Amino acid sequence: MTEILCKTDSFARSVRATVIECVATAPDRFHVVLDRTVVYPGGGGQPADCGTVSGYPILDVRMRPDGGVEHVLQAPVAGVVDVEVNWAARLDFMQQHTAQHLMTAIATARFGWKTIAFHMNPDRSDIEFELDSVSRQDLMTLEEAVNQAVFDDLPVSISFVSREQMSSMNVRSRLLPDGLEGPFRLVGIEGIDLNTCGGTHVQSTGQIQVVKILGTEKLARGVRVFYAAGSRARRIFEQTIERESAIGAALTTGPSDFIASIEALKKSGRDLDTSLRQLSARLAGLVVERMLEDAGSGQVAVYHQDEADGDFLRQVAERFHEARPEALALLTGGASEGLFMVVGSDESVRRVGPAVAGILQGRGGGRGAIFQGRARALSLWSEAVAIIASESARST
């Protein structure tokens, strides 16, 4: 069994320990059990700590059923070793975890919200509340109350009690397994909360520094509230300032004018889209006029442009069919590969469309006056044109 010092002192950063067991599970993987450790093995929504044993990084840490804590290392160790926890990560975990206790307790007392889950993710943490919905105003009220408790610098305590002792105390706890008599570890926040918990916590609420609610997500069983505390909240704020600065440089304006600038850009984009659609329609009309002129002088009605996309070819096809519904035409876009469309009477298109697709080594389909698809061999365009010419001659 391993003595986990952070269970009684979350601020324990290092310890000298004795190796009880070191088992190789791979050439560069060794599972090491120590008589004591300062590394938290994870649980209750809190990730495991990281750190070192004799200078070797702890790749993983896990609790065994027999009470031993396995530290997974890349090299074997023996005898007496030095164990150190990654303090920056530990402090971050403690700030997020104690903030969660505060938020849950205050949300329950003030709004009657029931917490159903808690997750401590790498960038932000979240609490799931059993709610249908939550208002922005209630979230701001909760955030203000939580930060008032942070400002009050309330003591955070650790104690161990039996089931009998706990039955007479006002303890917030999930359902405990039958037959488990303790001792049970309680984490208390003076005047606010007393809760069964195995994780690490700060010594007073002032060490949380600050709590910021970041947003919400609707779930099938409730509402997930995202938040960040302490150094993590400051880091997110710094990233926000950097993004704000970059946006300001791009918009050449200050934060107070961001919305107006973006709305102006959106309107300008809509106006530009309208102008482009009008120009595209006009260009399609001019293309059709030229196609009809060429066809009228004995040429097959065709159009090709390397840069033409499907939307423009569709406009040309529709304009052509409106002008000469009985005529047949081939439209293509792309270089060696690209798009094709056959437009004409339903009967002609039904006969010619699949044949053109076959010649251009492509696939396509369609109903009515337009057959369209993708072509892998536009180099065979002349053979496709010959098919169109043959059908046109037959129709006349």
| pLDDT at 168 (0 to 100) | 81
CB 320, CB 366: distance < 8 Å: no
Strand order of the sheet with strand 329-334? Answer: 301-305, 329-334, 338-343, 370-375, 363-365
The residue-averaged pLDDT of 230-254 equals: 94
Same domain membership, residue 120 and residue 237: yes
Helix axes 87-111, 230-251, angle to 10 degrees: 90
Global pTM value = 0.74
| pLDDT at 300 (0 to 100) | 81
| pLDDT at 396 (0 to 100) | 59
| pLDDT at 298 (0 to 100) | 66
Contacts of 283 (CB under 8 A, 6+ apart): 312
Same domain membership, residue 144 and residue 9: no
Write the single-letter amino acid at 17. Answer: A
CA angle 143–86–16, rounded 5-degree value: 130
Q: Is residue 301 part of a domain?
A: yes
The region that residue 298 occupies, defined by phi over 0 for left and psi between -120 and 50 for alpha, beta otherwise, is left
Q: Parallel, antiparallel, or unpaired: how do β-strands 80-85 and 14-26 relate?
A: antiparallel
Write the single-letter amino acid at 138. Answer: D
> Does 137 have pLDDT greater than 70?
yes
Q: Domain of 318?
A: 283-395
Same domain membership, residue 144 and residue 229: yes
Alpha helices in the chain (DSSP H): 87-111, 136-151, 163-167, 230-251, 258-296, 310-323, 346-359, 381-395
Span 79-108, pLDDT tens digits: 999 999 999 999 999 999 999 999 999 999
pLDDT > 90 in the chain, percent: 86
Task: Among 186, 217, 245, give the residue marking a domain's end.
Answer: 245
- CATH number at 13 reads 2.40.30.130
> Does 181 have pLDDT greater than 90?
no
Q: What is the dihedral of CA 172, 173, 178, 184, to 10 degrees?
A: -90
Q: Is residue 260 part of a domain?
A: no
| pLDDT at 366 (0 to 100) | 87
Of 274, 290, 298, 297, the C-alpha closest to 331 is 290
Same domain membership, residue 53 and residue 187: no
Span 262-279, pLDDT tens digits: 999 999 999 999 999 999
Distances (CA, A) of 218 to 35, 142, 215, 383: 45, 18, 10, 58
Write the single-letter amino acid at 184. Answer: F
DSSP string covering 194-211, please? EEE--S---SBGGGG--E
Q: Is residue 263 part of a domain?
A: no
Same domain membership, residue 235 and residue 99: yes
Helix axes 136-151, 87-111, angle to 10 degrees: 120
| pLDDT at 165 (0 to 100) | 86
Q: Is residue 255 part of a domain?
A: no
Collapsed DSSP state (helix, strand, coil) of residue 1: coil
Same domain membership, residue 208 and residue 136: yes
Collapsed DSSP state (helix, strand, coil) of residue 121: coil
Q: Is residue 126 part of a domain?
A: yes
Q: Is residue 252 part of a domain?
A: no
The residue-averaged pLDDT of 316-334 equals: 94
Give the chain's radius of gyration (CA, Å): 35
DSSP string covering 235-304, please? HHHHHHHHHHHHHHHHHTS-GGGHHHHHHHHHHHHHHHHHHHHHHHHHHHHHHHHHHHHHHHTT--EEEE
Q: Is residue 264 part of a domain?
A: no
Of 293, 312, 291, the C-alpha closest to 301 is 291
Task: Among 53, 85, 117, give the residue marking a domain's end.
Answer: 85
Write the single-letter amino acid at 148. Answer: Q
> Does 323 have pLDDT greater than 80?
yes
Collapsed DSSP state (helix, strand, coil) of residue 31: strand
pLDDT band with cut points at 50, 70 and 90 for residue 162: confident
Of 315, 269, 310, the C-alpha closest to 291 is 315
The residue-averaged pLDDT of 386-396 equals: 80
Two tokens at 207? 């060490």
Same domain membership, residue 104 and residue 26: no
Same domain membership, residue 208 and residue 295: no
Task: Please state the domain count of the chain.
Answer: 3
Mean pLDDT, the chain, integer:
93
> Does 179 have pLDDT greater than 80?
no
Task: Among 193, 227, 245, give the residue marking a domain's end.
Answer: 245
d(CA 389, CA 395): 10
| pLDDT at 393 (0 to 100) | 77
Same domain membership, residue 241 and residue 95: yes
- CATH number at 390 reads 3.10.310.40
Beta-bridge mates of residue 365? 372
CB 346, CB 371: distance < 8 Å: no
Of 108, 95, 53, the C-alpha closest to 75 is 53
Span 366-390, pLDDT tens digits: 889 999 999 999 999 999 999 888 8
Same domain membership, residue 293 and residue 184: no
Residue 172, classified by CB atoms within 10 Å of its CB into exposed (0-12), middle (13-18) or buried (19+), is middle
Collapsed DSSP state (helix, strand, coil) of residue 115: strand
Same domain membership, residue 175 and residue 115: yes
Of 190, 186, 225, 227, the C-alpha closest to 205 is 190
> Does 213 have pLDDT greater than 90?
yes
> Does 235 have pLDDT greater than 80?
yes
Same domain membership, residue 230 and residue 208: yes
Q: Is residue 81 part of a domain?
A: yes
- CATH number at 141 reads 3.30.980.10
